[in-house]
Structure 1
Amino acid sequence: MQEEFELFRAETKGIKPIKQDTIIAPRQKSGQKKSYLRDIREKEDTLFYFSDEYEPLLNENDGIIKYLREGEDSHLLKQLRRGDFSPELFLDLHGLTREQAKMELAALLLACESERVDCASIMTGYGSFTLKKQIPRWLVQHPKVRALHQAPREWGGDAAILILVEV
């Protein structure tokens, strides 16, 4: 062991020690930034589905809005109407502009997917009926929306829409 120290000292003789007088700032975690950018990208991707010009064929009997994605069981609409599905997420769009409502709707659909929630309630309110008419038109364009129906009285009645989302 002593021989090794002597050998080391002989090899390092005449070497000047390095002066360390700079501080290196710790690196920021890039995962946070990537997560934030991914969330923005996902929201933009979801917004891609919402065209204002698209006019879907919605079933509107007696002012009741309903939609069933092709290939889904027709019994889903009856279950939504009766209130068999309890919404786990609620979105209130009162007082929002169309663009704000579109962003919130995209965020709701992303939340449903990430939280694995299959039923949500969207409060459109009465107001000028602008959002009440537009929200279903946007929703039917999204591939994750299985069905929608005007909410039963206990979940908002005429002023709300229940949606079923594929999780």
Structure 2
Amino acid sequence: MKKSPSPTVEESQLFRDAIKGTRKIKQDTIRAELRPVKQKHLLRESRETLGVDHFFSDEYQPYLDQDGPTRYVRADISPFELKKLKRGSYSPEIYLDLHGMNQQQAKLELAALLSLCRRENLHVASVMHGIGKHILKQRIPSWLAQHPHVQAFHQAPREWGGDSAILVLLDVDE
């Protein structure tokens, strides 16, 4: 990489003339930072109020086939279950609408929904993420694939949201 030559005396004088009458900007940016201990306390409180027992990692990227609609089936589950979700054979027993939420809020609500489904023995849930900027549409499948009780999920049929929703098949205690 070549160094640029230092400015000549005339160039330096031109620069000084151009900025004459200006003043130095004072750094007045305020940064509100929470201490890590307080952050952990707030996270624990929010988890307890929602009754959440599983939390999702943002770094984990499962292998999800990019061709076609969003879909996933756990290795120990029959692929026929995924086909039933695609056809609409399973109707959702509970709905979660995530429109207008940020990623952190959506993650907590999704974890709370899955916990509720386990407690109430609900097998199929519909998660409506919307279309928007595709942020939640991309994140939700990776979060769902991490959960140990999610058997499969597929983009919802048109009558339950189409491109803007996912049907989730859960295993629950019998």
Question: Per the shorter chain, which TM-score range?
Answer: 0.7 to 0.9
Distance (Å, rounded) in 2 between the aligned partners of 1:120 and 1:68:
15
**Alignment correspondent of 1:46:** 54
Deviation at 1:46, TM superposition (A): 1.0
Q: Contact between 2:52 and 2:112, CA under 8 Å: does it hold in 1?
A: no
Aligned to 1:163, what secondary structure does the other structure show?
Answer: strand
Residues 57-91 of structure 1: per-residue CA shift (max 9 Å, x gap): 012323x1100001101101110000000000100
Aligned to 2:57, what secondary structure does the other structure show?
Answer: coil
| 2:170 aligned partner, one-letter code | V
Q: Contact between 2:53 and 2:115, CA under 8 Å: does it hold in 1?
A: no
**Alignment correspondent of 1:90:** 95
Normalising by structure 2, we get a TM-score of: 0.70
Deviation at 1:42, TM superposition (A): 8.0
Distance (Å, rounded) in 2 between the aligned partners of 1:136 and 1:84:
21
Identity of aligned residues (%): 51
Residues 22-48 of structure 1: per-residue CA shift (max 9 Å, x gap): xxxxxxxxxxxxxxx9x818845312x
**Alignment correspondent of 1:154:** 159
**Alignment correspondent of 1:56:** 62
Q: Contact between 1:87 and 1:119, CA under 8 Å: does it hold in 2?
A: yes
Unaligned stretches of 5+ residues in structure 1: 1-36
Q: CA RMSD in A?
A: 1.6
Q: Which has the larger radius of gyration?
A: 1
**Alignment correspondent of 1:100:** 105
**Count of aligned pairs:** 127
Is 1:112–2:135 an aligned residue pair? no
Q: Contact between 2:91 and 2:124, CA under 8 Å: does it hold in 1?
A: yes
Normalising by structure 1, we get a TM-score of: 0.72
Aligned to 1:51, what secondary structure does the other structure show?
Answer: coil
Unaligned stretches of 5+ residues in structure 2: 1-44
Q: Contact between 1:42 and 1:110, CA under 8 Å: does it hold in 2?
A: no
| 1:51 aligned partner, one-letter code | S
